[in-house]
Amino acid sequence: MPNVTENASTTEQRTDPPADRPPVPGASGAEPAGPPRLMLLDGHSLAYRAFFALPAENFTTGDGRPTNAVYGFTSMLANTVRDERPTHLAVAFDVSRRTWRSERFAEYKANRSATPDEFRGQVTAIGELLDGMNVPRFAVEGFEADDIIATLATRAAAEGFEVLVVTGDRDSFQLVSDRITVLYPTKGVSELTRFTPAAVEEKYGLAPERYPDFAALRGDPSDNLPGIPGVGEKTAVKWLRQFGSLEELLERAEEVKGKVGANLREHLESVRLNRELTEMVRDMDLPAGPADLVRAPYDREAVTALLDSLEFRNRSLRERLFAIDPAEAEADGGDGAGTGEEGPGIEGTRLASGAVADWLERHADGPVGLALLDEWKLGSGTVHALAIARPDGPAAHIDPTDADADDERALAEWLADPGRPKVVHGAKQARRVLAEHGWEVAGVTMDTALAAYLIQPGRRSFDLEGLGLEFLGREPVATGGSDGQLALDADEDAESEALMRRARTVLDLGTALAERLRDVGAEDLLHDMELPVSDLLARMERAGIAADRGRLERLEQQFAAAVRQAVEDAHTAVGHEFNLGSPKQLQEVLFGELGLPRTKKTKTGWTTDADALMWLAGQTEHELPVLMLRYREQAKLRTTVEGLIKAIAPDGRIHTTFQQTVAATGRLSSTDPNLQNIPVRTDEGRAIRGAFVVGEGWECLLTADYSQIELRVMAHLSEDEGLIDAFTSGEDLHDTVASQVFSVPRDRVDPEMRRKTKAMSYGLAYGLSAFGLSQQLGIGADEARRLMDTYFERFGGVRDYLQRVVGEATAVGYTHTILGRRRYLPDLSSTDRRRREMAERMALNAPIQGTAADIVKIAMLRVDTALRREGLRTRMLLQVHDEIVLEVAPGERAVVEDLVRREMAGAVELRVPLDVSIGVGDTWEAAAH
């Protein structure tokens, strides 16, 4: 280890505290009641956690700078300082990965991936924020932030401070003592767990000072420190309890019996090295000590300017940040703790039996927030509790098991009353589970998850916790139900209050999002499309689709046999057994033993993905690449069928869950099980679809979808006369287009011409490049470019549209469908060529695919509305890959077929007709068309 005194140098830190720093914050500058409290934060650790906790695409400035790490760090800092009220504060940062540890062990942290581009620069912004807040920050060349924290914490504890260490590094547990507590993030950076000596011992069975011994034996994958084969946490703890310390264990290693003992003796040197690297440095020479870290008033102008430059317009975040300014504490004669961290107060009431009707009559006439504590699984659900919150404070907690008959009747009438407006987070889930109690839900005027989706369609998560933090600055509510609510084993009073606070957060979030919806022109999309679709999807999920278990079980056996055969064939082809599911072993066989041409290099070696295997199959005559493709295909099919069998509910039907907020383009997807995993055009896929059958008491299944909808949308948007004529001519589209591209009569178009033209037409609709087209068609890039150039000569309107849509999206930062659905693409302005080109491909695709998705949703609503208007029993079951599946009631087939064709064809008015294909049959496959 280097000599700290001689070799340490500081970078990016303030070392001379201002001479006019005030006394320790307290009422009127008075001495604090207890010992001074020093809070030390691991800047890089917390910023990195914030970066992954908040999606970058939702925190980006107008000029494309990501700010999610800064936002999350700032929010965490404001909340933690508010809650813990430190008198002294400092933040430590790493300088680089080159430290005394990496010099001692070259592989230290060598397994970590490169810093994401979106994270770069955000640490600098955090540093500027801390400077504006007058918070000291340290970074020392050759050392990690851990060492700085360990030195300051040890020194402060010796000087009588109470010390709080906020870090996501478990090695910090070795610092824990009666005076030092570690606050360890367990959920992003919003939830911190306190590690005291008792907590460390409870979790690991060891005192904190033994933690480095424990880590040395266990190894640390995050730091790339090797463990001992066969030795996990339990064995490490057992040894340390038995021998008392690592040093004693290593001295008496011969006493450890068995294979693990032999492994220990073989790895003594690596364990000793682990122990040295895990130990934190506690005696660094630093230019400031604990007493110099007293909190000081902000440079409010600098902090405000930085928040403005980062475009942090969230009022609550600013209020929380300035509420902890020591200058505020002095002005208020308080401690700067701030208020409002959990949102406005509520007047909560746990309604007793018989009190529900009166409360609903007096308080639930205007807009209210509704939250549920529920369970849902395989076609059944239970509501354990409901909470209702008004905007002016009153809130109620209702336990259905305590409700009497009058209560249930009043609640059912209120839920079903369209004139009683309700704000819900996840209306589909609420409708689905409430229906299990016989309760219909009407009057949902706002679904905060769907609203946020329309505002930020690229967001990864739409959980209430993240949205409340971002749009309200609201503290997260304890979660754990099927739509993110409370744990069922929580304390009743705490559960009740938290559920009511959740309802209030839903209500307030709805108000905030309504304004944003107006800003992005998405109000009509929410009220006229997404909310009605969520109602329809809830009914579809409850209905499910009947499944033939016996047929699925036979298919599972068939695919399992195919997997076994593929494994045997692969072993025979190579001459020995190996694990086909191991990328590492497959790489050794393909590129080591067989010497096949090497594919693209990745972090884990030469890639063996499907594209690589297909390329290898074309480059070599060896059969292994083809066998591997067959093995993976059959294994995937087997997994798909196994999932379907497990998903069959007691009613004999499969109840998939439709997702409205996953695809940024507006498309629906499904999960549990994912029905989009079933291949559409293969024999195996058709066999699986054959196991979805018409239910008992119904006449048949009917399927309907649009023919070539993406290309019809492209014709409409581009206004290309040639493409429009191709659709309106009544001839085969691809033959018509191919005849123009290849300058031959229609009757001279051969299958290869048609194949190339069809691939190019769809490729353009999906933003396919010339290189991508060449890969798809198996032709040279030059030929693909000539083919595209010829296409654009014949269809200049398409070329002009594709150029125009990218230019317009770059100018405004988003694309939109014909109905106004936006997709934001900040990377259109990125200086990273790969990111920019990817965003350009998305800009080409989003208006076309998004408009197609909108049309399908409109069609679903029109069909459903017409079925109910005409009093028909036929019901919609599925929507997969733009296909709608209905279960037809006896005697209704002819009228339903006409109804579906009429309503779908009239969904929207385009410059080309919408062509609807319909099929009927006893199974999903038999109803194909």
Task: Write out pLDDT tens, residues 611-655.
Answer: 888 888 888 889 999 999 999 999 999 989 999 999 999 999 999
Distance separating alpha carbons of residues 395 and 391, to the nearest angstrom: 9
pLDDT given at position 222:
66
Q: Which of 325-329, 346-350, 578-582, 706-710 has the highest mean pLDDT?
A: 706-710
Distance separating alpha carbons of residues 373 and 97, to the nearest angstrom: 46
Give Rg (Cα) of the chain.
Answer: 32
Instruction: Give the CATH superfamily of 347-544.
Output: Ribonuclease H-like superfamily/Ribonuclease H (3.30.420.10)
Residue 588 in this model has a pLDDT that exceeds 80: yes
Question: Cα-flanking dihedrals φ and ψ of residue 705, to 5°?
Answer: -155, 175
Rounded percentage of the chain residues whose pLDDT exceeds 90: 43
Bond into 673 cis (ω within 30): yes
Let me know if domain 710-850 sits in CATH 3.40.50.2300: no
Q: Kindly state the tokens that stand for 230.
A: 């066969």
pLDDT given at position 374:
81
Q: Of 74-78, 216-220, 848-852, where does mean pLDDT reach its minimum?
A: 216-220
Place of tokens 């001839």: 731
Q: Are 87 and 294 in contact (CB under 8 A)?
A: yes
Q: Which of 114-123, 370-379, 625-634, 857-866 has the highest mean pLDDT?
A: 857-866
Rounded percentage of the chain residues whose pLDDT exceeds 70: 88
Q: Average of pLDDT values for 397-412?
A: 90
Question: Cα-flanking dihedrals φ and ψ of residue 564, to 5°?
Answer: -60, -40
Q: Of 251-265, 409-423, 473-487, 500-514, where does mean pLDDT reach its minimum?
A: 473-487
Those residues with Cβ within 8 angstroms of residue 789's Cβ, 6 or more apart along the chain or in another chain: none
Nearest CA-CA partner of 462 in 450, 479, 474:
450
Distance separating alpha carbons of residues 924 and 904, to the nearest angstrom: 20
Higher-scoring residue by pLDDT: 351, 328? 351
Residue 115 in this model has a pLDDT that exceeds 80: no
pLDDT category of residue 521 using cuts at 50, 70 and 90? very high
Question: Cα-flanking dihedrals φ and ψ of residue 368, to 5°?
Answer: -135, 155
Q: Average of pLDDT values for 313-321?
A: 79
Q: Of 41-50, 220-229, 607-616, 783-792, where does mean pLDDT reach its minimum?
A: 220-229
Question: Where do the domains of the chain lie?
Answer: 4-17+24-197+282-300, 347-544, 548-654, 710-850
* CB neighbourhood size of 631 (10 A): 21
pLDDT given at position 200:
85
pLDDT category of residue 19 using cuts at 50, 70 and 90? very low
Q: Kindly state the tokens that stand for 766.
A: 């999906």
Place of tokens 């339903």: 896
pLDDT given at position 476:
53
Measured CA distances, 553 to 455, 650, 685 (Å)? 44, 16, 15
Nearest CA-CA partner of 87 in 52, 35, 48, 125:
35
Residue 100 in this model has a pLDDT that exceeds 60: yes
pLDDT given at position 455:
92
Q: Kindly state the tokens that stand for 124.
A: 């600098």
Q: Which helix (H) or strand (E) holds 545?
A: strand 545-547
Q: Average of pLDDT values for 185-200?
A: 79
pLDDT given at position 577:
92
Instruction: State the architecture of 4-17+24-197+282-300 in CATH terms.
Output: 3-Layer(aba) Sandwich (3.40)
pLDDT given at position 345:
64
If you average pLDDT over every residue of the chain, what do you get? Answer: 84
pLDDT category of residue 119 using cuts at 50, 70 and 90? confident
Q: Average of pLDDT values for 498-508?
A: 91
pLDDT given at position 878:
96
Residue 173 in this model has a pLDDT that exceeds 70: yes
Q: Which helix (H) or strand (E) holds 149?
A: helix 145-158
Distance separating alpha carbons of residues 763 and 746, to the nearest angstrom: 22
pLDDT category of residue 336 using cuts at 50, 70 and 90? very low
Q: Residue 590 gets which letter from DSSP? A: I
pLDDT given at position 295:
94
pLDDT category of residue 899 using cuts at 50, 70 and 90? very high
Q: Which of 468-472, 519-523, 832-836 has the highest mean pLDDT?
A: 519-523
Range list of H helices, 520-606: 523-524, 531-543, 549-574, 583-587
pLDDT given at position 779:
82
Q: Kindly state the tokens that stand for 333.
A: 């004669």
Residue 404 in this model has a pLDDT that exceeds 50: yes
Q: Provide the whole-model pTM.
A: 0.69
Q: Average of pLDDT values for 216-237?
A: 72
Higher-scoring residue by pLDDT: 727, 470? 727
pLDDT category of residue 388 using cuts at 50, 70 and 90? very high
Instruction: State the architecture of 548-654 in CATH terms.
Output: Up-down Bundle (1.20)
Distance separating alpha carbons of residues 59 and 69, to the nearest angstrom: 9
Residue 864 in this model has a pLDDT that exceeds 80: yes
pLDDT category of residue 2 using cuts at 50, 70 and 90? very low
pLDDT given at position 193:
86
The 10 Å CB-count burial string (b at 16+, else e) for 359-382 is: bbeebbeebbbbbbbbebebbebe
pLDDT tens column, 203-214: 888 888 888 888
Q: Are 102 and 108 in contact (CB under 8 A)?
A: yes
pLDDT given at position 584:
86
Q: Are 455 and 517 in contact (CB under 8 A)?
A: yes
Q: Average of pLDDT values for 523-546?
A: 96
Place of tokens 């369609």: 457
> What type of residue is 369?
G
> What type of residue is 576?
H
Q: Are 744 and 737 in contact (CB under 8 A)?
A: no
Residues paired with residue 896 on neighbouring β-strands, in sequence order: none
pLDDT given at position 768:
76
pLDDT given at position 631:
92
Residue 252 in this model has a pLDDT that exceeds 70: yes
Question: Cα-flanking dihedrals φ and ψ of residue 698, to 5°?
Answer: -115, 155
What HEC string does 373-418 produce? EEEEECCEEEEEEEEEECCCCEEEEECHHHCCHHHHHHHHHHHHCC
pLDDT given at position 236:
76
Measured CA distances, 917 to 193, 701, 707, 709, 914 (Å)? 57, 14, 7, 11, 10
DSSP 204-260: HSS-GGGHHHHHHHH-BGGGTB---TT--HHHHHHHHHHHSSHHHHHHTGGG--HHH
Higher-scoring residue by pLDDT: 486, 118? 118
pLDDT given at position 254:
76
pLDDT category of residue 384 using cuts at 50, 70 and 90? confident
Residue 4 in this model has a pLDDT that exceeds 90: no
Nearest CA-CA partner of 209 in 178, 167, 253:
178
Those residues with Cβ within 8 angstroms of residue 391's Cβ, 6 or more apart along the chain or in another chain: 366, 367, 368, 507, 508, 511
